[in-house]
Structure 1
Amino acid sequence: MAFPAMKAFRTTLAYLQRHAFDLLKALWLPAALLVALQAYAAPPFFNAFASMLGLGPNPDPAEAAAFLGEFAKWGAILSIGSAIIMPMMTVASLRHIVRGDEMKGFFYLQYGGDELRVLAAYILLSVMAMLISIVGGLAATALAFVFMLLGPAAKAAADGIGNLVVNVVVAWFRLRLSVLFPAAIATRTIGFGVSWEATKGSVGGLLGFWALVGLLLIPVAVLATLPFIGDFIPLFEHLMAAGSDEQAASAALIPIFQQFAKTFSIENPQFVFLAMALGLSSIVTTAITNVAAG
């Protein structure tokens, strides 16, 4: 039986409307923690990366090691913090759908078995998708090498077709596991087998359903970034103007990462508005995607 995309989409909208306040209670504190994490770790992370790029093609080893250490440190803080907060947000938005648990308080702050299983499921999904991309990319490269013997046009066509096939396979794989997190919470396992079985024969309908969900997310992303995008437009224009010149492109990336650091800094006069935009967009995006998956 085909997956009823429109019916599922209407059900998702109805649930979001009925339980908007419950979702807000469940998500506001984890979202605030996520914003605090980004405000703390993102500026030095971006500044360290910009500093590494500024060293040029032949950097001093000691200086490069120092900047690399800073980049790794703040990257680790962002990764570990996200590994704590993101599963918490996922579970907070899914417990009522999956188990019928009601929010009794005015915030959700918990990290237990459900969160650990969601984290494990996310890591497994990411690793498997990466492996598919790597293996598919190697196969596409080998195919392009064979077609190179027929001329540049044939190689370009083979490159395009190979990349398309890899992307389609990864998308199909992700659709088959699109209910992975609810399955992990419901079964108290990683949820891989349950999700794979539940989506069997439903990829076409799921594709249509998630396309509709994506239409809900587009205005959220636009509204969250629109007030701040003006500072980045001329910087990205310089990057595009660099073309295939690697040295010029690297130089053009430096002010982009510096601007990211400035934007996320609490010293930025617009930071209050950025924090509100990040927090609200995180709540809305998490609620929509997880309710849709549930």
Structure 2
Amino acid sequence: MKLPVFKTVGASFSYIIAHFLTIVKIAWLPVLAMLAVQLLVMPDLFDAQQKMMDIDPNADPAAAFEHMRPMAAAAGKIYLAMAIFYPMVFTGLLRHVILGESPRLPFYFAFGAGELRIIGSTLLLLGLFTLVYFVGVVALAAIIAVLGMLAGVLGAAGASVAGVVGAALMFAWIVAMIWFCLRMSLVYPACIGERKIGVAASWALTKGSTISLALYWGVWWGLMILMSIIWLALMGIGYADLLVELFNNASDPQAAAEIQRKLFDLQRSLWSLSDLRSISFVIVGYALTIVWTALMVAPAGVAYRFLKGTQGAGSN
């Protein structure tokens, strides 16, 4: 069954609007817990990153590795928190979208079989993506190496052909990776709907709907990117300007390094809660995290229901 893009987009918007308070009830506490961990850990992470940036390039590798340990420890705490709190949000929202189950309390803060299936599916996906990525890279590198040898034998004309073929193969590999991502885009809804690791179910459900899913997810990713641009512009923090400046100076290592340091200093100040700007950044970021989560998880659940044939969204 092919996904009806416009109908599914409309159903997703209808669900989000009609059940927005339920979405907030499910998401607010896990997202707040994640934010609390970030506020506690980010200063240590920034301190470790600062020490790494200040290391002499010619320093002893053992000393550099010693500086990496606190950075890895801080990052590990954040990833552990993500592995606990984000599955809660995903499971709570998808149980509402797919099964019509609402939390009885004014919050959702549980960790059970659904959350474990989300984690298991995530680990399996990481393994699959790593395997597919490296197999593709190795195969592409081997083909390009063969083309390079042929170009050396055939001369200028052969080099031109090899360049075109190599570029076409690179494009085909990127398309293949996107295609694989689309086939796996309903793994989490399948975890809840099928009550098992959702990789196989997502693969089966999305067969024949790759183009439809590309258009469908393009709507939601485009909306989130637009919201991010507007947010950064309204906050007036200069982050977007620095990113543009970094892109324009990519060919100048010294200038790029200086811009990267400015980006680092800006990020550090935004998490410091030392002034009204940083406090506003954290509060607005918290609210937008709930909205962004809704814009990714709810549409996935709605698309799953359409492809399963149980059209509609959410509880009655």
Q: Same fold (TM over 0.5)?
A: yes
8 Å Cα contact 2:34-2:82 kept in structure 1? yes
Between the two proteins, the alignment pairs up a number of residues equal to: 293
**1:146 matched to which residue of 2?**
146
Task: Give the aligned residue type for 2:274.
Answer: E
Distance 1:277 1:173, change over 3 A: same
Q: Distance in 1 between matches of 2:127 and 2:274?
A: 37
Alignment of 1:121-270 (within 5 A): 121-149=121-149, 150=151, 156-226=163-233, 227=235, 229-231=237-239, 233-234=241-242, 237=245, 240-241=248-249, 243=251, 245=253, 249-250=256-257, 252-270=259-277
How far the C-alpha of 1:236 sits from its partner, in A, is 5.9
Shift of residue 66, structure 1, vs aligned partner: 3.0
Counterpart secondary structure, 1:115:
helix
CA–CA separation in structure 2 for the residues paired with 1:45 and 1:136: 34
SS at match of 2:249: helix
Partner Cα separation in structure 2 for residue 40 and residue 155 of structure 1: 53
Contact 2:272 2:278 in 1 (8 A): yes
Distance verdict in 2 for CA 1:103–1:231, change over 3 Å: same
Structure 2 vs 1, CA of residues 162 and 104 (structure 1 numbering), >3 Å: closer, same or farther? same
For structure 2, the residue ranges without an aligned partner over 5 or more in a row are 302-316
Change (3 A) 1:252 1:154: farther
Does 1:109 pair with 2:117? no
> Are 1:271 and 2:281 matched, yes or no?
no
**What's the RMSD between the two structures over aligned residues?**
2.4
What is the CA–CA distance in structure 2 between the aligned matches of 1:280 and 1:26, rounded to whole Å?
A: 13
**Higher mean displacement: 51-60 or 198-207:** 51-60
AA at the equivalent of 1:166: W
CA shift digits 1:228-284 (9 cap, x unpaired): 541563476257425164x66455533432332222223354222111222111111
Residues of 2 paired with 1:199 and 1:184: CA distance? 15
Query: Judging changes above 3 Å, is the alpha-carbon distance between structure 1 residues 56 and 143 closer, same or farther for their aligned structure 2 residues?
Result: farther
1:15 alignment counterpart:
15
SS in 2 for 1:270: helix
8 A contact 1:176–1:196 mirrored in 2? yes
SS at match of 2:263: helix
In the other structure, the counterpart of 1:84 is 84
Gaps of 5+ in 1: none
Counterpart amino acid of 2:273?
A: I
Identity %: 28
Whole-angstrom CA distance in 2 between matches of 1:261 and 1:100: 41
Deviations 1:134-158 (A, max 9, x none): 1111222222222334266556545
Q: Counterparts of 1:252 and 1:198 in 2: how far apart (Å)?
A: 45
Tell me: CA distance 1:3–1:114, structure 2 relative to 1, closer, same or farther (3 Å).
Answer: same
Who is 2:54 aligned against? 54
Q: Which one is further off, 187-196 or 20-29?
A: 187-196
Taking the aligned partners of 2:141 and 2:181, their CA distance within structure 1 comes to: 23
How far did residue 48 of structure 1 move?
1.8
C-alpha distance 232-173 of structure 1, shift in aligned 2 (>3 A): closer
One-letter identity of the residue aligned with 2:249: A
In 2: Cα distance, 1:81 partner to 1:72 partner = 14
Post-superposition shift, 1:224?
Answer: 3.3
Alignment of 1:285 onto 2:292: yes
